Amino acid sequence: MKIATWNVNSINVRIPHLVEWARSAEPDVICLQETKCVDENFPLTVINELGYEAAFFGQKSYNGVAILSKFPIDDVEKGFPDDDDEAPKRLIAATIGGVRVVNTYIPNGTELGTDKFQFKLDWLQRLRRYFEESCSKDADVLLCGDFNVAMDEIDVWSVAQWEGKLHFTKTERAAMHYVKQWGFNDLFRSLHPDSREFSWWNYREGAWQRDQGLRIDYIWTSASLAKRARSCEIDRYPRGLEKPSDHAPVIAEFA
DNA sequence: ATGGTAGATACTCTA
């Protein structure tokens, strides 16, 4: 089974790239973030024609997550259990082939010291609590998505440039590490201990052309699922297309 | 210190 994660930065703008990439990479499951469309406007017909079922949870203009799958999608959960109707739509979970897939678009944080930055840290606390309350550590659990945090020095193009900046502050990294300590394994890093590869490049400053990026998109697995992992790669190809998302997909294969 | 780009919406916000 192949499972992928991709922040598409508007699913309706990115449909041509999504279709082309899905046909060539052939993932069984695709977790999407920043779909930026309400559920009535979700391009379900195109997705179905591509061979996928879909569960989606979107809102106007911002955020929005979806899970596409070639296999049946069961036990869909949208948002945290204690979210109200106003909560940003950043989490969708489902069981596919016995794997509990949790797809997240972790808050950006906007700027250090703002309410939105605090919201990001609080959201990560709630994410850890969510796993404690809803998942068993012995189960096959997969957490993926746009985490908006680079975990280690090898995950940023320049430590000097990023130290203490949004996405790479000690507080964000500690909060993310606390989520990881629930029992997760960073699949790309486990399989590629020394690879400095990125999954996001700013649209500005020629970041893509200079390969000045960050690794902020992840596939994390529980211990039992990690044992079945065969590969985990970042596919840079779609980032080089015309009018790309600023993120590249990450794809993992399991036995 | 500033502004550089992109997307959705409605003349600005979020990233």
| Domain regions of chain A by residue span | 2-254
**Mean pLDDT, to the nearest integer, of A223-248?**
98
What pLDDT score was predicted for residue A120? 97
User: How far apart (Å, rounded) are the C-alpha atoms in residues A183 and A141?
Assistant: 10
How many angstroms separate the Cα of A93 from the Cα of each of A112, A135, A142, A170, A178? 29, 11, 10, 28, 20
Q: Which residues touch strand B (CB under 7 A)?
A: A 9-10, 12-13, 36-37, 60-63, 107-108, 110, 116, 148, 203-205, 243
Give me the pLDDT at residue A100, please.
Answer: 98
- The strands making up A91-96's β-sheet, listed across from edge to edge, are A74-78, A91-96, A99-105, A141-146, A217-221, A185-186
Averaged pLDDT score across all residues of chain A: 97
Give the mean model confidence (pLDDT) for residues A223-252: 98
Per the CB < 8 A criterion, the answer to whether A183 and A143 are in contact is no
Contact yes or no for A125/A86 (Cβ under 8 A): no
In the structure, what pLDDT confidence band is assigned to residue A11 with cuts at 50, 70 and 90?
very high
Distance of C1' in B11 from CA in A71, Å: 44
Average pLDDT, integer, range A186-203:
98
Q: Look up the pTM and report it.
A: 0.97
pLDDT bracket for residue A78 (50, 70, 90): very high
- Active-site amino acid positions of A: 105, 146
Q: Which nucleotides of chain B have an atom under 7 angstroms from any protein CB?
A: 3-9, 14-15
Q: Which amino acid belongs to residue A97?
A: G
The C1' atom of B3 and the CA atom of A173 lie apart, in whole Å, by 28
- What 3-state DSSP class applies to A5? strand
pLDDT score, position A63: 97
Looking at residue A160, its pLDDT comes to 96
CATH number for the domain running over A2-254: 3.60.10.10
Instruction: Pick out the nucleotide with least CA–C1' distance to A202.
Output: B5
What is the mean pLDDT of the segment spanning A14-31? 98
